[in-house]
A and B are shown apart, each in its own frame.
Chain A
Amino acid sequence: MSAAQALQRKFEAESAAYQTIQKDYSKAVESRQRLDSQLQENKIVQEEFALLKGDANIYKLIGPVLVKQEKAEAVTNVDKRIDFIQAEIDRVEKQLKDLQEKTEKKRVELVQTQTMLQQAVGQK
């Protein structure tokens, strides 16, 4: 019985760990989606800047006020932002892959423990 109890405890710990990994995974998926929409928005702004004449007036919203900004500065700002978002996407992408592997490993462990537990209970 104590072996079965130990297995039961192990099983519970492993399933808790599995759930944590899954929570992390869905969080990562969420941030991946958010980054993607930010990237899209910035790309649209970049395209719009490309269409503008050099002397066009560009304003940036800072808090509740619009502040005038040089076109060159705005363009480099958006370019930098796109680079940053791209780097973030790569990072989250790596994290996702990592978590996927972890999930798979944990699942195998979980199934193993479960079968062992069932056997232990069955033998009793």
Chain B
Amino acid sequence: MAQKQIELQDLDLQQLVEVKKQLEDELSHLTSSFGQLKQAQNRFADCIESCKAIHEKNEAKTILVPLTSSLYVPGKLADVQKVIVDIGTGYYVEKTTEDAIKFYNAKVAFVNGNLEKIQTTVAQKQGNLRSLVDVMQYKLQIQQQEQKAAAASKA
């Protein structure tokens, strides 16, 4: 970190502005990724909840099956043992509900790991950005003082 400070000191204002922009771009990209991952995690958690609702007690009960988001048809829960799970790239696998819950739990944990990684990166980048802004303000101050001094010597 100390080394970074020295490097920052060596840059002129315009370069600092560019670095700042780059950092801000990276940060916004990371935060949007973070939000997307969070959404994915919530979707998986919803899937777990849905799997938990499929058990013997609910067998043969009538349910409403969504054909589209606004059109439902009545149906009966015929099989409470198995569900079909989307595992990506167009492949679906038949699993028991317990296995499906395990599968989604693993997914949630996987996403969680990535979320933590992003969070540390975001914190680090924010630290970098803060020290960069500090250096920028310092440089600006010096520039202003120089201008004032120049104006004073002229007068």
**Which chain B residues lie closer than 8 Å to A42 at the CB level?**
88-89
Using a CB-CB cutoff of 8 Å, which residues 93-124 of chain B contact chain A?
93-95, 103
Contact between A45 and B84, CB atoms less than 8 A apart: no
- Give complex CA distance A48, B94 in Å: 12
- Give complex CA distance A81, B92 in Å: 17
Contact between A44 and B87, CB atoms less than 8 A apart: yes
Contact between B92 and A59, CB atoms less than 8 A apart: yes
B: which residues have CB within 8 A of A?
A: 84, 87-95, 103
Contact between A41 and B88, CB atoms less than 8 A apart: yes
Using a CB-CB cutoff of 8 Å, which residues 35-80 of chain A contact chain B?
38, 41-42, 44-45, 48, 52, 56-62, 66, 74, 78
Interface size on A, residues (CB 8 A): 18
Of B89, B94, B95, the contact of A45 (CB 8 Å cutoff): B89
- Give complex CA distance A38, B88 in Å: 10
Contact between A61 and B90, CB atoms less than 8 A apart: yes
**Which chain A residues lie closer than 8 Å to B95 at the CB level?**
56
**Which chain A residues lie closer than 8 Å to B94 at the CB level?**
56-59
- Give complex CA distance A41, B94 in Å: 19
- Give complex CA distance A61, B90 in Å: 5
Contact between B93 and A59, CB atoms less than 8 A apart: yes
User: How many whole Å from B36's CB to the nearest CB in chain A?
Assistant: 12
**Which chain B residues lie closer than 8 Å to A41 at the CB level?**
88-89
User: How many whole Å from A2's CB to the nearest CB in chain B?
Assistant: 36
